[in-house]
Structure 1
Amino acid sequence: MTLDLFAALEPQPSREPITQGAVLLRAFAAGEAAQLVRAVEQVTAQSPLRHMHTPGGFRMSVAMSNCGRYGWVTDRRGYRYQPEDPLSGRPWPEMPQAFRELAVRAAREAGFDGFDPDACLVNRYEPGARMSLHQDKNEQDMAQPIVSVSLGLPATFLFGGMERADKPLRMRLESGDVVVWGGPARLLFHGVDTLPDGDHPLTGRCRYNLTLRRAR
């Protein structure tokens, strides 16, 4: 098979509007997915993934860590950003340059120039894990967008309205897909449906999600 035919089998980037202020960038990170997964492994070797608890005491099914100047955490004291990993008391790992550069490029492609993320939440979904509909509203600057990167097993992304009860759109996300939302879409409810079992050549039986934000 020729190189041209191999290239034709690779996912081709495309831009799919979701709603005003929200865009799905298909395969935007596909070419660098392996590099991103290696960076995830380096980050989580320093700050291990863990199942945090909500203020109500519920254990989250998604395992989490952070990198960057700030990390998002949840416990009995509430949802918040803080500069140190509560497990170690040390600063979160530095955000890999590959994460930052990808987020800036994706935000620009979606129409948000000047994005400067200082926090990256790393989520690991294993079969059966899910993320209920929620808003990202712990950040101080709501003018900055959110950039969400999918790596590994495919998942169904849920993108709703301004009320939790609004019926969400359902979108299948593949490894390398990037969703960006901001502006009028910044506080829309969103989540991830229960991850089915599978095996991906990059990540095995799991999916990683990188959510890059400007926290402060």
Structure 2
Amino acid sequence: MYEERPARLDGAVVWSNSPTAQGFRPVLPDGCMDLIWADGRLLVAGPDTRAYVPEGPAARYAGVRFAPGDAPTVLGVEASALRDLRVDLGDLWGARTARRLADGVTGAPDRGTALETLVLRRASDAPAPDPLLRAVVARLRAGASVGVAADTVGLGARQLHRRSLVAFGYGPKTLARILRLRRALDLAAAGMPYAEAALRAGCADQAHLAREMRALTGTTLTAYLAAVP
């Protein structure tokens, strides 16, 4: 069963998941990075450009999902270095530190809260999130084009692309596609007809949405929405 709640870290989400024997939905691209506890290990999930399906999934998960662009300063790694990867936290912070932190989360009465506290401590010593990139995310989520988002915050195309690689792991056009797909999925999951969801999300038509779904996730809207959570 999957559950989530807003984190005390601005824009982040604390989540937990215990996949059922019947299966679970693949993890779709969302523009975010996560710090994850998985059966006693701490992992960092980099930004995805395609659906991720764990091989031999853990029985229990807890995680903190950062707002798009916020994780690199907290975790101390550029997002592009972890694109489409899951890495052990020890690879970033050292094996001894990662093991100590993982043991602390494992022994906590609420692992999600323990992860949240860990992240808050790290964030207190890290630079603040880039306000320009936060504004770009807000514009793209609202359906603005990359050009309009860049002009709004006063960044040139090359500047925005370079800063996007560091913060999001890929360029702003890829981020825009992913956020548009997430809008469409949310609308379709709420019961809106696919054709209407496509238009409301910013796709040209339902066929455009179907192509984007296949390209970014490798599956279809119907198959994804019918999958066991």
Give the structure with the larger strand fraction: 1
- Pick 1 or 2: higher relative contact order, CA cutoff 8 A, min separation 6: 1
TM-score (norm 1): 0.28
Larger Rg: 2
TM-score (norm 2): 0.27
